[in-house]
Structure 1
């Protein structure tokens, strides 16, 4: 049985917890706390340490999903959570362009921790005010080779597609390392 550690990261309120909850076969271990600041009241709670979920892909493969906190004040957890990861997903809220720069910074931070494969998930693509994928690619300054995937974090099948794309990238890189 092969286990693969995947980190799900991104700015505050990008959909990381929901992403993990929609596919996890176990109850997600979550360190959510109520939000007290009025400025952050776009939602009721925030992740302060991590979210943890698990999904069995097949008889030989289990993914452990670790969600990071999105708020800057908890970013000390990022490096800890990145240890041993084989890949990561950067969640970006397609409806909040003001978070794109922060998403780019988070992506660069995780690339610095470990040069592992990653995908960028453009979440909330089901919302009418969601940015177009190619416009997001430009705004995020993503290389054309980077997989930027349409995502709806509450849709289990959609989340599975994002994780599969990341797995393909991981397998591709492992294959190159063996040749």
Structure 2
């Protein structure tokens, strides 16, 4: 997905320092296979200039990486993407986008450390890539929501059909999104925050 077409934060560039009203900062990871839009999502929603670790794709990855859609993609994340968004005056999310190519998945363990939750970004043209991604989150006990990124040529399925294909329990939120659009990406993050809050309330002592 082309990052250049993403929404940008209107107005003057925001300051990098945290607002004085901040009371909590939460680490969130955005995971998914190669080319599902993780860098795009971080870039569209971040209030600071996002940090990316993209490198030009080379012939060396042929036969090694999942290069689906690489005819229009010239760079790939090799370490992480980083951004920040203020959800309320008191709550700030730090966003860490993981590399999608499988040979870089060993970096995920470090990125998961201290993460309160995750967004699993899906491309319905390659649902099978998501099975290992979701499995890794479940193994580590990281709560997550699923966001189906809207690619123009991707097939669309009813949410409950996707839930069955991914073998996800009914309480895990699944929604459609457009990672290029700030409002859409922000709503995904808000859904995750609400989900995490509901889990915390459920676990709280009576």
Say whether the 8 Å CA contact 1:133–1:148 is kept in structure 2: no
Q: Which has the larger Rg? A: 2
Residue 108 of structure 1 corresponds to which residue in structure 2?
135
Q: Distance in 1 between matches of 2:153 and 2:75?
A: 25
SS state of the match for residue 76, structure 2? Answer: strand
> How many Å separate the matches in 1 of 2:163 and 2:137?
18
Q: Report the alpha carbon displacement of residue 175 of structure 1 after superposing the two structures with TM.
A: 1.8
Q: Which consecutive residues of structure 2, in runs of 5 or more, have no partner in the other structure?
A: 1-22
TM-score, length of structure 1 as denominator length: 0.91
Match of 1:27 in 2: 49
Q: Unaligned regions of 5+ residues in structure 1, if any?
A: none
**Misfit runs of 4+, over 3 Å:** none
1:156 aligns with 182
1:133 and 1:150 in contact (8 A); partners too:
no
TM-score, with length taken from structure 2: 0.79
Deviations 1:12-58 (A, max 9, x none): 00110101111000111000000013743331110000000000112
**CA–CA distance in structure 2, aligned partners of residues 14 and 165 of structure 1:** 19
Higher strand fraction (1 or 2): 1
Q: Is 1:81 equivalent to 2:126 in the alignment?
A: no
Check the 8 A contact 1:3/1:61 in 2, yes or no: yes
CA RMSD of aligned residues (A): 1.5
Alignment match of 2:91 (pick from 56, 61, 70): 61
What is the Cα deviation at residue 128 of structure 1?
A: 4.9
Residues 1:123 and 2:120 are matched in the alignment = no
CA contact (8 A) 2:87 2:190 kept: no
Structure 1 pair 176–10 and aligned structure 2 pair: CA distance change class (3 A): same
Distance 1:9 1:176 in 2: 25
Aligned residues, how many? 174
